[in-house]
Amino acid sequence: MSKKAIFVCVKRDLTNPISWALREFEGKLMIRYCDNTKLLGMALADVTSACTIILDSVIGDESTIEFAKNVKNEKPFVKFLLIVSSGTAKEDVVALIQSKTVSGVLTRPFTAEQMSDNIYKLCGFQKKEVPWYMQTGFK
């Protein structure tokens, strides 16, 4: 089975929690982190098959909503998981969902389990009964 591509473009304070949540998918995902939408756009230039993008709704002073719409128009196979910050208008999020630009939405703060559930859904993986972070090794 080939690895699924995941691009992560979020504020720096979310990088570690997302990395922690994605540990469950080691060996199944190829993860690439980008600091801004310009770098993400360059990374996506070569993408020709399905991938998932975890995108913060606001990075620095930049709203990423228009970026998401543009990428979805150019590459309709891309799935977006949008992380909604407090600075994002509810109407914008609703419009993205209704237009099917985003495939999933997480609001800040979120848990590792919520992130993991979205990745299972977006990548089409079968969910394990006991997540890796709850396994003790005791029988």
Task: Give the residue extent of every domain in the chain.
Answer: 4-127
Q: Is pLDDT of 75 > 70?
A: yes
Q: Is pLDDT of 18 > 70?
A: yes
Give the pLDDT confidence score for residue 138 in this predicted structure.
62
Q: What is the pLDDT of residues 93-129, one digit of tens each?
A: 899 899 999 999 999 989 988 999 999 999 988 876 6
> What does the block give as tokens for 57?
């709704």
The CATH class that applies to domain 4-127 reads: alpha beta
What is the arithmetic mean of pLDDT over 34-42? Answer: 92
Give the pLDDT confidence score for residue 129 in this predicted structure.
66
Predicted confidence band of residue 5 (pLDDT cuts 50, 70, 90): very high
Share of the chain above pLDDT 90, in %: 51
Instruction: Give CA–CA dist 37/56, Å, rounded.
Output: 10
Give the pLDDT confidence score for residue 88 in this predicted structure.
83
Q: Is pLDDT of 8 > 90?
A: yes
Give the pLDDT confidence score for residue 83 in this predicted structure.
94
What is the arithmetic mean of pLDDT over 71-77? Answer: 92
What is the arithmetic mean of pLDDT over 73-85? Answer: 92
Give the pLDDT confidence score for residue 135 in this predicted structure.
62
